[in-house]
Structures are given as C-alpha cells and as structure tokens.
Chains A and B, each alone.
Chain A
Amino acid sequence: MENKINRSPLAKIPTHIAGLDEILVGGIPENRTTIVSGGPGCGKSIFGLEFLYLGAKAGHPGIYLTFEERAEAVRQNALTMGWDMEALEKQNLLFIMEANLDPTTLVSGDFSIQGLFSIIEGKAKMMNCKRIVVDAVDILLRLYNDYNRERTEYYALHEWFLSRKMTCIMTVKSSQDHGQTERYEFLDFMADCVIHLDQRVREQITTRRIRITKYRGSNFGRNEYPYVISESGLSIIPISTTGLRHKPLGDVVSSGNERLDNVLGGGYRRSSCVLIAGITGAGKTTLASTFIQSANTREEKVLFIGFEESEEAIVTNMLSPGIDLRPALKAQRLRYLTALPEAMGGEEHLMRVINEIKTFKPDHIVVDAISACERMGSGQTAFEFLIRLLNHCKEKDVTCILLNQTTQSMDIHQISGMEISSMVDTALFLGMVEVGGEINRMLLVLKSRGLAHSNQYREYLITSNGIELVDVYVGEGGVLTGAARQEQEAKEEANRRMREHQIMQKKHELSHKEAAKQAKIAALQAEIDMFKAELDSLMEAENTWNQGRTIRAQLRGKLKDNVLLKKL
C-alpha cells in the first residue's frame, strides 16, 4: 500500500509555455500553488496570463484575478501578444476579474478576505474552473498595514486554494532594490513550486533569466535559463535539457565546388555544423554563397542570418565572383535575416532566428559571422546564442554553416574563439600566406567528421567563376603557392626533362648495341655458311674421285693392282 503511494507520480499540468515544461519536467503541480516572483517588468503577469490563455484554448477554463490592473488593460496587453481574451471570455473559458479596492476605502477594525474567496468560489463553480492566477495580491493585503497579518492571509489563501483543489499561480513582487525579498521570503517556504524571474542589464543590453528555486516532490532543471518575451509570449530555451537528443549526421551534400568536395571527402554532411573561419577578405561569404547556389539547384532552402552586411550588399558583392543569388531569392529558397548584433539581446536574436526557422523551414542556415555575436552583449551571450541555435538546428535536421572572422592570419587556434569546437563537425580554415612578396589564399580542412578528408593545405583563387581550387602541389618544404609555386614547378619541369633526355639517350645506346649485336651475329652466320658451302663442295669432289677410282680398277683388273701395290 505504501509502495503504491510512493510510486504514484506528482500530478502536473503542462503550462504549454515554450520551453518551460521541459525545465519543470512536465508542468506545474496540479491542485497546488506555484509562486512566480520577480521584479517589475520581468513578465510575471504575462507568465500567468499565458498559462491561462493556452489552457483556455485547450478547453480548461481559468480565472485571472488582478489587483493591480484594469481588466481592459489586461485584455489590451494580451492582444499585443495576439491573444484574444474576449473571445475566450465569451465562451466562458476565461474570466478576468478586476479586484481593485477603492483607494479611499477606510479601515476600522479587523476584517477578512472572505469576500474574495466567496467571489472566486462562486465564479469557479459557474465556470467549472480549476485554474486561477492571482496577480499582485499584495496590493489587497497591504490594507492590513500589518506584516504578520498579511503573512497569515497569504497562508489562508494558500490553504483555501488547496482545499478547493485549485491549481494556482500567484505572482509576487521581489526586488532587491526595495528590500522586499526578505518580506516575501516565507512564500517560498509555503508554495510547492517557486519560479523566479529576473531581469538584468549587462553592457546596456537587457537579459532575462528564469530559475526554478523549488519544486516539492519533483525533479526540475536547476540552472538559470534565459527567456524572452516576444510578440507571441514567453519563451524559454533551456540549454541543458536539449543537447542530448542529437541525431546522427545526415547524408553528404555538395559544398558547391567539386574540388572542395574531394578535399572534404565528399562534401558537407547534412544537419551537421560546418565552421568556415578566416580573416576578412578570405572568401568566407563567397564559399557560403557557393553552397547556397548549389543548394538552390537541389531545391533546398537556405536561411542566411547576417550580422555584418545587408541583403542587397551581399547579393551585389557575390556577383563579382560570378555567384548569382537572385534566382534562389526569387524561388523563395533563400531568405536573409539581417540585424545588427547590438540591436537586441541574445535571447531576442535567438527567438527571432528560431521563429524564422519555424516559419521558413530551411534545410540549411548560414550565420555570418559568429564573431559578431559577441556584440550582442558579452562572450557568454554569444556562446549561449550559438549553442542554443546549434542545438535547435541539430534537432530540426538543419545544416549550420557558421562563418567566423579570425583576426590573425593562419592562427588555427582562433578558429572557434568561443568554445564551440566540439559542436563543429566540419571545420575549414581559409588563410592567406605571404610567400616571395605576394599573398596567396590557402584552404585547410581541419576536420570533416565522418568523412575521409585531405589534410593538406590547398591553394585557391577567387575568380569570376567563383572559388577555384588549384591542383595540390606536393613537394619538399611544404605547400607552395603563387609565383613561388610556379618557379618551383618550372624547376621541377626542367629536372624532369633532363631525366627524360637521359633515359632517351640510354635507350638509343641500347638499341645501337642491339643492332651491332645483330649485325655481328649476321656476319658470323655468313662465315659459318661459307665454311659449310666449302665443306659441301669438297665432300662432293671427294665422292666423285672415289667413284672414278672404282671404275678405273674394274677396267684394269683387280688382282694386278693388288700385286703391284704390295710391291710398292
């Protein structure tokens, strides 16, 4: 029996606020009170309003109790986020209750907030409502003018909601400046879930952070998470809860340059992160635009996030190396999202990009350049912006081409000044080297995850036909470029010719010798033949002579001859 109780998980209600349910591991506790504290302007009211609005749209009625604002003002504010409260009110799914006490109200003796309970109870019953947001109840409770009494009433509210099984969000002001944090500290002990919103200004740019300080009976993301209030409400982008759900790298896509593809071991990997680093003028944007152009021919969409140049400037500039991006723009397969990094905080930048990715659904994105992101506030801001963007892209199977402007030529270690190197799958370095009084462009593939890539420096040229990789020259003393390379090549050519000549000579000699041998063999054969002929004729003569003698002996008589011979 006990086991059963322990195992039953805490019932939660999803808030459906972007990213929040992830760090709350499901949502806010059901039938309990959640405290949302924060200073002025940090979005406490919007938090509550969004919870009710999204809930009401899903068919869960809710009451919004405001002690600070007029109901009309609440409706107006909601409308700026695109939330039509009135429509939901008409459907009895939402009720905005103005709980403003006339400021001229006199106080004489003790009182209780029974009236409030009565109204809530009656209305909740009418609407069959289980969700309530109590915004700035401190305004009412200050009427007591007694801290201890105020505290007691907070507990009374909490108890009342608990007994009615209502899921409540109570907003509480906290501001270090006004020394009120201590004043409402007890609330953090009282509530089951405490969410703190914080707004701070760093380097003249406002950043907002959300932190769950307490969640009874539940696990939760314990970090501070950046959040933004955008045109569509609150958005939280937790960094540590994402990141572990990366998919494997996709198939290989062409970089737009055949020779570069060979160097890379095939091209870029889909849904990977490609880093192109180099000093200004090295051709980073040209290389990225080459890719955009090839993506267009494959009918893939690219989102270009520019922090440095305007759309017009990039499109015009790319015409000189012969890259025409206008067809891609016309086909709506290329979109530019440009803004100065200083224009807003990192979170706003991120939300803008994420929203654009959501609506445009690109296959690839290009960020030009990540080195400019530091101007969003600080290195930390830039880092968070990038990590979150990369995470988002990996989850959405979007290829990220990051351009990074390094300050010093050929300093490989500056390639990712912000520690994103582990996130990078392919790293290209574009550098310039000075050899023999001239600057030449060099390209090096530092990394190409999952592909066998060349690890040689390659010289490249930016021509009117785009980027052109020159044949790799492998010689002693490293890679040579430009005139030095030509000189070396000429030398090599001379050497080669010399060797060729020597070989030819030897070949000739050999054939001469061969011929001489043949001649000698022929002469000897002739001699042998002659001897043979002479021998034949001698043999012939001998035969003829022997035959003649026999005939003569027969003619003279054989005996006579024999006696005669004995005598001799």
Chain B
Amino acid sequence: MQQPHDNNESKYQLKLFIAGNEPNSVQAVTNIKQILDSRIKDRYQLEIIDILNDFQAAMDNGVLVTPMLIIVEPTPETTIVGTLNDSEKLKAALRLT
C-alpha cells in the first residue's frame, strides 16, 4: 500500500453524477474506479448519483452535463466533466502524481 508520492493522511471524498446507463456515464464509472482502486484503495469515498432519478441533486450541485465528477476533498473543490478518459488529467486533479 506504500505509495511514495501520495499523501497518506488524505481522505478522498468524491461525487460522480451520471445519467442512467448512458455510454459516457458507464465509461466514467469504469475509469474513475480503476484509478481510485489502483492508487488509493480504501482511502476514498465515492458517491455515484444518477440524476435521472434525482434531479434535485443535479440542481443543488449545478450538474448541467453528465458525467460530472466533483472532488469534494481534498479541497479546493474541483470539477471534471466527461468520460474521465484522460488519466493524467484525472491524476493531476486528484493530486496523485
């Protein structure tokens, strides 16, 4: 579990907004899980919200496009939209270099 560049103390809190099983939503779920599990397994909390069932959540979080990942912690809050196919970009946003 020892990762030299990681901050071991950090807790990761993420929200992923998806639209049912839309292809790019499905892809985003796969992509984020892969990165998180390979790098910070057991240290993250990922909440997957289907806006087709919960429009209020979409409204409260300003989710205009899907899929949308909000990194609540570590702060500052960061938003990434898309299938999250760019793992380098995603790692940078998660501060996992």
Contact = CB atoms under 8 A, between A and B. Distances in A.
A113 interface: yes
A102 interface: yes
Contacts of A109: 24, 27-28, 31, 82-86
Given A106-B78, A108-B81, A109-B28, A114 B86 contact: no
Task: Tell me which of A97, A110, A111, A112 has the highest count of chain B C-beta atoms within 10 A of its own C-beta.
Answer: A111
B55 A119 contact: yes
Contacts of B66: 111-112, 114-115
Contacts of A112: 19, 22, 24, 65-66
A104 B79 CA distance: 8
B43 to A, nearest CB: 22
Interface residues of B, number: 33
Contact of B55 (A100, A101, A110, A118): A118
Contacts of B78: 104, 106
Nearest to A117: B19
Task: Tell me which of A101, A112, A115 has the highest count of chain B C-beta atoms within 10 A of its own C-beta.
Answer: A115
Interface residues of A, number: 26
Contacts of B81: 105-108, 111, 143
A123 to B, nearest CB: 7
B89 interface: yes
A115 to B, nearest CB: 4
Given A104-B79, A121-B55, A115 B85 contact: no
A29 to B, nearest CB: 26
B59 A122 contact: yes
Interface in B41-95: 51-52, 55-56, 58-59, 62-68, 78-86, 89-90, 93
B79 A100 contact: no
B94 to A, nearest CB: 11
A443 interface: no
Contacts of A228: none
A25 B45 CA distance: 58
A140 B24 contact: no
Interface string B3-46: 00000000000000101001011011001000000000000000
Contact of B65 (A108, A113, A121): A113
A114 B59 contact: no
A18 interface: no
Contacts of B25: 114
B22 A114 contact: yes
Given A112-B19, A118-B19, A107 B80 contact: yes
Contact of B59 (A105, A113, A123): A123
A115 B19 contact: yes
B27 to A, nearest CB: 7
A116 B65 contact: yes
A328 interface: no
A222 B52 CA distance: 43
A475 to B, nearest CB: 89
Contacts of A480: none
21 contacts: A97-B59, A99-B64, A101-B65, A105-B79, A105-B80, A106-B81, A108-B80, A108-B82, A108-B86, A109-B24, A109-B86, A110-B83, A111-B66, A112-B19, A112-B65, A115-B19, A115-B51, A116-B64, A118-B52, A119-B59, A122-B58
Q: Which 10 A-B pairs have the closest CB atoms?
A: A122-B55, A109-B83, A109-B82, A114-B19, A109-B85, A115-B63, A108-B86, A108-B82, A106-B80, A114-B66
Interface of B: 17, 19, 22, 24-25, 27-28, 31, 51-52, 55-56, 58-59, 62-68, 78-86, 89-90, 93
Interface of A: 97-102, 104-116, 118-119, 121-123, 140, 143
Given A106-B81, A116-B65, 6 more contacts: A99-B62, A105-B80, A115-B68, A118-B63, A119-B63, A121-B55
